[in-house]
Structure 1
Amino acid sequence: MELENRLGKKVMLFDGAMGTVLQQRGLKAGSVPEILNIGKKEVIIDIHKSYLKAGSEIITTNTFGANKLKMSEIDYTVEEIISAAVENAKRAVIESSKDALVALGLGPLGELLEPMGSLTFDEAYSLYQQQILQGVKSGVDIIHIETIADLCEAKAAVLAAKENSNLPVFCTLTFEEDGRTFTGGNIHSTISVLEGLGVDALGLNCSLGPEKLESLAEEVLKYSNTPVILQANAGLPVVEEGKTVFKLSPEEYYKPIARLYEKGLAVVGGCCGTNEDFIALIADFLKDKAVKKSNNEEISIACTPSKWKDLKKINVVGERINPTGKNEFKKALRNKDLDYITRVAIEQVEAGADILDVNLGLPEINEEEMMVKVIKELQAILDIPLQIDSSDENVIAKALRYYNGTAVVNSINGETEVLEKTLPLIKKYGAAVIALTMDEDGIPETAEGRFEIAKRIVNKAEEYGIKREKIIVDCLTLTASAQQKGVKETLKALKMVKEKLNVNTTLGVSNVSFGLPARAVLNRNFLTLALYQGLNLAIIDPNDSEMMANIKAFKVLANLDKGAVEYIEFMANVDQEEIKKENSAIETMELEEIIVKGIKKEAAKLTKKLLAEKDALEIVNNHLIPALDIVGERYEEGKIFLPQLVQSAETVKEAFAVLKAEMAKNGDEDISRGEIVLATVKGDVHDIGKNIVKTVLENYGYKIIDLGRNVSENEVKKVVKDNNIKLLGLSALMTTTVKNMEKTIQIVKEENPDCLIMVGGAVLTPDYAEMINADYYAKDAKDAVEIAKKIFG
């Protein structure tokens, strides 16, 4: 089968679930499904055949968890498992006499990437690379990356696939009902990043049934120009007579699929709880039908995983992360003082910046190394898109590789050499790019000359496959003091570019006033004129409240701020903002604010300062815990997401380290608020959720005994008994291991009836928790904290 002749043209059918079907066929709770590729290959082949008979055109290898992290405790190598899995799938195709393709199924690695976890981007890439190289060697037709919650992990997997094979790449993420992934990712950012990386199909899988995923799938279909996949669960599972049961029928499953087909769905399959009956019903109605064409909306955004900015609208780009003319900033770069850079970034965001320009161009530093460090530091504490500002293509390449989201690159120009070096990087990583209207001959004096350069760059970019939505033209602000006529030409060129090339625009506004008195007056007037001509990205100092007020006023006058809501709010807060700016330096922040913002390095300094006047317990109760409560409330309200929650918890860890050292020095008792045991149950090697709960609980002052993953019932029982534990937390991610959780609860309670048990994990619900006799259900780390508070007071 030739995929290129079918994908996006005719509806294609994936298979359904593997794990839950194996469970129905007697897979022992807690067993590793991937080893059955070798030990019970006939069972795997038979399941593949059942899907092929039902009408599947793409079958997925039984390799969801076949990575080095998860396979560390079995007797087979990753290569052996994948080789056997591909052989089984290919044999099923041959024996079924079907024209079908084999997709290498790759699931999440089981550990969170930095900054939420300890796994580095390069380590994640290497783990996926190992799987992909073996899959290619074994002869798969497609790389299928599925059930991903972290956009950075998806990026590592897609790059590993793209850089180590020529195969089509499909990628699906798993979303909750609120339209967010577990780590806070949103639909727009997901589409932008995956399309930018050049996947061949993208979409949603797992987590929920098709009806609950329908509105999210509609949003993907509305904005994606790439064929869209949906592989939903057969609803949410329940436990009946100790077994996991999915109640949704094939007919109920199909109804929302049929509606989504009318809106352009291109690839359909099933996830947990589905089987060959589901696929057969879909095949009866949809197989080989033409994909419905939809008039998709082109998205033009810069983004982080959880926040995106529409580049077609007016955005403020903070200009202050730049050493030009700033001695203190140069000193910070030489000393690798990330705290200083972080401070500048925070101040700009609080002042209203939508995007931050990051320029670290100082000859005496290693710009490439520093750029990566700064990007990681800023993305750990701020949820705002970044603009990578460098003229060195090596710096740009490194920055784009490690940036989590869709960045803006500042900049390219009309020089042939620059375009040939930089445009391939923009295309590879899916970035947006600023194009300066200058070339080997300098900056043209006329608007027409600058327009011609812009047109040439746009055409060249399109030759590389870069869409106009990704291009931002800078017609270059000239100084009124030296090139007064040129100011008018800049504005004229801006209007021409906007109207004739249909691209977004930007200007470094403050250049206009260089060398003249009362610069702010010139800057404000020039900004207003530029906005009227079609300026999208205004590169300014957001701490200049009068410049910000000009933007708010223009939005009202241009009918962009409906009801003047933004303007009224901004003007009402101007006085307060001025006071806030005067006191916003990190040196003047209270410890609580440092924790909420997640500025780790400052937490220890402030804690030492507080110890001079307060004792350790007072600092814990009156500073650390209230700050974490604020963070928890914001997390629950959806104002911040998992990366910010973890960063704040890690910041508290810095403070606790100081307090513990002080207590030990004085010979005092530990400041622990209680002792809790955490474990991922036997047979389950996923401990992402448990590790997050551990981090947050520790930083509320609880002592955690972490037993790790794949922990036997007897080991849990022994540790609980030996330490007289009041609270035990158990985690499970897979439906196949919930039974082991139930068994662990039973055994622990037999000998330790006073120990209370909380449970959590992707497959758990309150009903599940009650059925398996747990005392509490914790849907996330915030819930776990509330439970601990209730028990320990």
Structure 2
Amino acid sequence: MDIREYIRNNILLFDGAMGTMLQKKGLKLGENPEVFGLENPEKLKDIHKEYLQAGSNVLTTNTFGANELKLDKIGYEVEEIIDNAICVAKSAIKMVDQSIPRYVALDIGPIGEMLEPMGTLSFDRAYEIFKRQVIQGVKSGADIIIIETMMDLYEAKAAVLAAKENSNLPVFCTMTFDENGRSFTGCMPECMVATIEGLGVDAIGVNCSLGPNLLLPIVKKITEVATKPVIVQANAGLPDIIDGQAVYNLGAKEFYEGVRQFIDLGASIVGGCCGTNPEFIKEINNHKSELKKMKIKKNKSCIVCSPSKFVNINQPRVVGERLNPTGRKLLQHSLKNGNLDYVINLALEQINGGAEILNINVGLPDIDEKIMMPKLLKEIQSVIDTPLQIDSSNIDALEQGLRYYNGRSIVNSVNGKEELLESVLPIAKKYGACVVGLTLDEEGIPKTAEGRFNIAKKIVDRANSYGIAKKDIFIDCLSLTVSAQQEEASETLKAIKMVKEKLGVKTILGISNISFGLPNRNGLNSSFLMLALGAGLDLPIINPNEDIMMEAINSFKVLNNIDKGCTNYIEKYNKSENIKSVLLDNKNKKEQSLQQIVERGLKEEAKYLTKKLLEKKNENDILDKILIPALDEVGKKYDRGDIFLPQLIQSAETVKVSLNVIKEKLINKSNNVYKGKIIVATVKGDIHDIGKNIVKIMLENYGYEVIDLGKDVPIEEVVNQAKSRKVKLVGLSALMTTTVKSMKETIEALRDNNIDAKVFVGGAVLTEEYAKRVGADYYSKDARSAVEIAKLNFNVKK
């Protein structure tokens, strides 16, 4: 039975952890699990048989790290590893009871390097890496593709696209989240669902991360917005470190109780992750008849998002209009000359003004939109987390924008013309985007509301035929200038009401067109906006930096009982005079300070202003009194959850631009440029260095000399480097539970060799308590805390 058919009416049971089972079969510390499976197929088959006998429907192949970046370094091919793993799993299935459906899932894990803009790996390169795995998985006979343990939404998107575009296999995708409900890179569960579901996966959910109890709130968020089957594979609780080994604290019976709660919430695909074994799967299987598959709720909410922010369009939401070069000479000049810092500033101004979504248009005769659209989207997303609406009449530019956008977007736009319906709607469906439909066709814009309604119906019907739900369609009934077509303003309003009531879809409208060529445009725009909102407008496209427009929006929400208790209205306008004076002061400023530029992550402006400041200020003053305080402020925002990892890294990289400008002068004036030397290394046996690389970036930008020993670093190498370089601080990273022992042994070796250095440790499996147990002096939960540890260790004043 095809697995898609099976999961419609049944609970599907995956297997449990692979790593700990391989260790029991003889996998040694630092040994590659995939290569071990290649060289010991019978041992691998035995593990699979144990899971099958416990009741698993699905075997996950031993290919979690089988990508070319990892395997090429050790002389193995992706194809041989994947082919062996799938063949072994299939042979195990042939040896057990065939009365229940059994499937083999090609396991694809993270690549191990960060994608741009946080890292150096491009989206296209990541796609090609995943594509190679997928193609071999199909050749070798996998039944499913499971993309799992993803921490970065962008990487998950690349993997899903590679799977969907290079196979017809069912695709499941899971990400991993921490107790705060965020992934390592700041992604929210709701954003994952909105983005990845839209790409056409067959199941979506969460794995690894936490034990069942701590995972429940995250599963609840996923099941509340998901429209596809939900998969959950929890850890066996949180591990204790005993004799350097990770020992999980949850038994099979307690684990099952958590699984039961997952299914009560709406999950229908379950299994185990770290710390689980065949006993856990058997316990679930023994109670499988008691578990009732819940019907998937028909989610009516429309969500657009970036990785770290989502907007539920369940009330009027403001779309910022200013990132459109039509009639804006400064923006035109900036786009032509590649001065994207100006564009980012416009984006930030609109967000500060109240925009919840930003419309992005790069349509100019002298610009290749296909190249500029994804470039601008990446630049904006490296600084802000507000969802974006991709606006273009160029089909190639629309597709490029959707492909490289990190999150779920709105396509602006399609209309009633057959050519556009046939070209835009399939693209919107493929990438899971919402779509804007303009009420015009080959005959132009109808003068009457009825005429516009008929085009709207055609667009909605055609979009539905492509599988685009009504909740994700926005009809633009088009506002025309009243100075020339005065009678049609009321037709627009009438059409909005008809579309809302008769078609049951949402509406969008550019407001400022209405007043073109007339004096006091703001007054007319504001009045028209209120009338349109009253008719049922969901997404007004306006300039949010015009107070009168935002006052209309905020007033409407109060008068229509959307702003409960007038809370937001009072908060915004209770000190309106102070706010206006602050806005006036900001307008009078001719340029931002370097600290503001760093906080916003504007690299080109940082470079320019640093050069200017060097004409008047001492280099060390710029570093100590401007750049470091700016990073401190960004760090505080990160700690509060106001910004997330992409923005933190962007600010750090902006500081690096300034540092590069002043570095030569600093070196010439002093031999003691750095505040101290620090070694960082991922311990022996661990090949993950994402977290360590982020720590390095932050420490360097605070003025420390960082000696990066890389990943999978032998103990003796750490000791020798610490001794020869006379460092006073060593940072050790471990992402895998199996390498915590290596971390402990490294620290013991440093102590045994009388290295006079403090040690701080970090990684996904570490806690403050574990840090003490392995003998570390400090525990670093993230890059920000590593900086504080360095300050403390080198007695640097805060």
Shared topology, TM-score over 0.5? yes
- Partners of 2:520 and 2:533 in 1: how far apart? 21
- Partners of 1:368 and 1:670 in 2: how far apart? 48
Q: Decide whether the 8 Å contact of 1:549 with 1:571 is kept in 2.
A: no
3-state secondary structure, aligned to 1:8: helix
Cross-structure match for 1:40:
40
AA aligned to 1:444 is P
Cross-structure match for 1:531:
533
- Partners of 2:740 and 2:464 in 1: how far apart? 52
- Partners of 2:39 and 2:203 in 1: how far apart? 33
Matched, 1:621 2:624: yes
- Partners of 1:178 and 1:338 in 2: how far apart? 33
How much has 1:581 moved relative to structure 2? 4.2
Distance 1:380 1:580, change over 3 A: farther
AA aligned to 2:481 is T
How much has 1:197 moved relative to structure 2? 0.3
Q: Decide whether the 8 Å contact of 1:222 with 1:296 is kept in 2.
A: no
Cross-structure match for 1:648:
651
Q: Decide whether the 8 Å contact of 1:347 with 1:584 is kept in 2.
A: no
3-state secondary structure, aligned to 2:687: coil
Once the two structures are superposed, residues 500-525 of structure 1 have per-residue CA deviations (whole angstroms, 9 ceiling, x without a partner) of: 21211111001111111111111010
Cross-structure match for 2:480:
478
3-state secondary structure, aligned to 1:321: coil
Cross-structure match for 1:660:
663
- Equivalent residues in 2 for 1:379-778 (5 A)? 379-582=381-584, 583=586, 588-664=591-667, 666-778=668-780
Deviates more, 1:313-322 or 1:426-435: 313-322
How much has 1:717 moved relative to structure 2? 0.8
How much has 1:403 moved relative to structure 2? 0.2
- Partners of 1:567 and 1:261 in 2: how far apart? 41
How much has 1:587 moved relative to structure 2? 5.3
Q: Decide whether the 8 Å contact of 2:263 with 2:292 is kept in 1.
A: no
How much has 1:663 moved relative to structure 2? 2.0
Once the two structures are superposed, residues 383-427 of structure 1 have per-residue CA deviations (whole angstroms, 9 ceiling, x without a partner) of: 111111101110000000000000111110011110000100000
Q: Decide whether the 8 Å contact of 2:306 with 2:387 is kept in 1.
A: yes
3-state secondary structure, aligned to 1:785: helix
- Equivalent residues in 2 for 1:161-176 (5 A)? 161-176=163-178
3-state secondary structure, aligned to 1:38: helix
Cross-structure match for 1:262:
264
How much has 1:673 moved relative to structure 2? 1.2
State the TM-score, normalized to the length of structure 1: 0.98
Cross-structure match for 1:125:
127
AA aligned to 1:560 is I
Matched, 1:313 2:315: yes
* 1:295 maps to which of 294, 297, 305: 297
- Partners of 2:296 and 2:339 in 1: how far apart? 50
3-state secondary structure, aligned to 1:143: strand
How much has 1:470 moved relative to structure 2? 1.1
3-state secondary structure, aligned to 1:315: coil
AA aligned to 2:542 is I
AA aligned to 2:639 is E
Once the two structures are superposed, residues 712-755 of structure 1 have per-residue CA deviations (whole angstroms, 9 ceiling, x without a partner) of: 11111111001100000011111121111111111122223321
- Partners of 2:57 and 2:722 in 1: how far apart? 50
How much has 1:112 moved relative to structure 2? 0.9
AA aligned to 1:377 is E
Q: Decide whether the 8 Å contact of 2:206 with 2:232 is kept in 1.
A: yes
Once the two structures are superposed, residues 638-676 of structure 1 have per-residue CA deviations (whole angstroms, 9 ceiling, x without a partner) of: 111100111111111111111212223x44334311110
- Partners of 1:251 and 1:279 in 2: how far apart? 10
- Partners of 1:660 and 1:293 in 2: how far apart? 61
- Equivalent residues in 2 for 1:772-787 (5 A)? 772-787=774-789
- Partners of 1:659 and 1:168 in 2: how far apart? 54
Cross-structure match for 1:77:
77
Once the two structures are superposed, residues 570-603 of structure 1 have per-residue CA deviations (whole angstroms, 9 ceiling, x without a partner) of: 2235444444445269952111111111111111
Distance 1:72 1:577, change over 3 A: farther
Q: Decide whether the 8 Å contact of 1:192 with 1:299 is kept in 2.
A: no
Cross-structure match for 1:19:
19
* Structure 2 stretches lacking a partner, 5+ long: none
Q: Decide whether the 8 Å contact of 2:243 with 2:741 is kept in 1.
A: no
Deviates more, 1:291-300 or 1:738-747: 291-300
3-state secondary structure, aligned to 1:269: strand
Distance 1:187 1:585, change over 3 A: farther
How much has 1:441 moved relative to structure 2? 0.9
How much has 1:263 moved relative to structure 2? 2.8
- Partners of 2:402 and 2:648 in 1: how far apart? 25
* 1:791 maps to which of 777, 793, 798: 793
- Partners of 1:559 and 1:373 in 2: how far apart? 41
Matched, 1:50 2:41: no
* Structure 1 stretches lacking a partner, 5+ long: none
AA aligned to 2:227 is N
- Amino-acid identity (%): 53
- Partners of 1:587 and 1:192 in 2: how far apart? 41
Cross-structure match for 2:156:
154
How much has 1:610 moved relative to structure 2? 2.1
Q: Decide whether the 8 Å contact of 1:217 with 1:260 is kept in 2.
A: yes
Cross-structure match for 1:92:
92
Q: Decide whether the 8 Å contact of 1:9 with 1:290 is kept in 2.
A: no
AA aligned to 2:478 is L
Q: Decide whether the 8 Å contact of 1:30 with 1:740 is kept in 2.
A: no
Q: Decide whether the 8 Å contact of 2:256 with 2:283 is kept in 1.
A: yes
How much has 1:42 moved relative to structure 2? 1.1
- Partners of 1:114 and 1:585 in 2: how far apart? 36
3-state secondary structure, aligned to 1:383: coil
Once the two structures are superposed, residues 428-463 of structure 1 have per-residue CA deviations (whole angstroms, 9 ceiling, x without a partner) of: 000111100111111111111111111111110010
State the TM-score, normalized to the length of structure 2: 0.97
How much has 1:333 moved relative to structure 2? 2.1
Q: Decide whether the 8 Å contact of 1:13 with 1:287 is kept in 2.
A: no
AA aligned to 1:656 is L
AA aligned to 1:649 is A
Q: Decide whether the 8 Å contact of 1:10 with 1:289 is kept in 2.
A: no
How much has 1:95 moved relative to structure 2? 1.6
The count of corresponding residues between Structure 1 and Structure 2 is 792
- Partners of 1:586 and 1:310 in 2: how far apart? 35
- Partners of 1:261 and 1:365 in 2: how far apart? 52
How much has 1:298 moved relative to structure 2? 2.4
Cross-structure match for 1:109:
111
Once the two structures are superposed, residues 443-488 of structure 1 have per-residue CA deviations (whole angstroms, 9 ceiling, x without a partner) of: 1111111111111111100100001111111000011111111000
AA aligned to 2:761 is V
Q: Decide whether the 8 Å contact of 1:628 with 1:649 is kept in 2.
A: yes
How much has 1:202 moved relative to structure 2? 0.4
AA aligned to 2:620 is L
Q: Decide whether the 8 Å contact of 2:688 with 2:735 is kept in 1.
A: yes
Q: Decide whether the 8 Å contact of 1:11 with 1:287 is kept in 2.
A: no
- Partners of 1:612 and 1:479 in 2: how far apart? 51
Q: Decide whether the 8 Å contact of 2:4 with 2:202 is kept in 1.
A: no
- Partners of 1:296 and 1:756 in 2: how far apart? 55
Cross-structure match for 1:339:
341
Cross-structure match for 2:61:
61
3-state secondary structure, aligned to 2:509: strand
Cross-structure match for 2:214:
212
